């Protein structure tokens, strides 16, 4: 087999790169996949916490406008995303200081797409709103007489 002058020069200088692209690809793909799954996992967790806060606000709003605690907790659970609704702990408190408080707690494993990225043990959302019947009503009359 005859080797040309140019091919001999390439082999002699070490510029033969057969397989180098495959080796570089094999080194980069695991790093990129890890970053991709990490971004997806934390994005999913942030979405879950945001949905928990929205659900807690929904429940607190129910209490603020006179709904009983059981119905408010049920409305809160209904407002949660399906993947965490069954495992969520929902608690409501109507304080003496005129606030309706709603707390939603979800296990961190429920907000995980994969078990590869470490997550906190629990995610918790707290909401407090002043009750309507405890607010002073302004009749629009600014006269002091």
User: Cβ contacts of residue 109 below 8 Å, gap of 6+?
Assistant: 115, 119
Burial classification of residue 142, based on how many CB atoms lie within 10 Å of its CB (0-12 exposed, 13-18 middle, 19 or more buried): exposed
With a cut of 60, say whether residue 134 has pLDDT above it: no
Residue 125 included in any domain: yes
Q: How confident is the prediction for the chain on average, in pLDDT?
A: 81
Reported as a single tens digit per residue, the pLDDT across 88-128 is: 889 888 776 788 889 999 998 888 777 777 888 999 999 99
Residue 69 placed within a domain: yes
Residue 7 lies in a domain: no
Which domain covers residue 107, as residue numbers? Answer: 19-134
Does residue 80 lie within any of the structural domains?
Answer: yes
Q: Is residue 141 part of a domain?
A: no
pTM for this prediction: 0.71
How many domains are contained in the chain? 1
| pLDDT of residue 50 exceeding 90 | yes
Identify whether 94 is part of a domain: yes
In a domain, 13, yes or no: no
Tell whether 6 is covered by a domain.
no
């Amino acid at each position: 087999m005859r080797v040309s002058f140019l091919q001999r020069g390439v082999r002699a200088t070490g510029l033969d790169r057969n397989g180098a692209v495959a080796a570089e690809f094999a080194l980069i793909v695991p790093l990129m996949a890890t970053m991709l799954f990490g971004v997806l996992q934390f994005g999913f967790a942030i979405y879950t916490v945001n949905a928990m806060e929205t659900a807690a606000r929904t429940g607190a709003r129910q209490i603020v406008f006179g709904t009983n605690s059981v119905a408010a907790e049920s409305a809160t659970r209904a407002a949660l995303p399906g993947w965490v609704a069954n495992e969520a702990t929902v608690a409501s408190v109507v304080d003496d200081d005129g606030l309706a408080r709603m707390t939603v707690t979800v296990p961190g494993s429920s907000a995980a797409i994969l078990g590869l990225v470490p997550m906190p043990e629990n995610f918790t959302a707290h909401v407090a709103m002043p009750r309507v019947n405890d607010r002073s009503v302004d009749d629009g009359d600014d006269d002091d007489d």
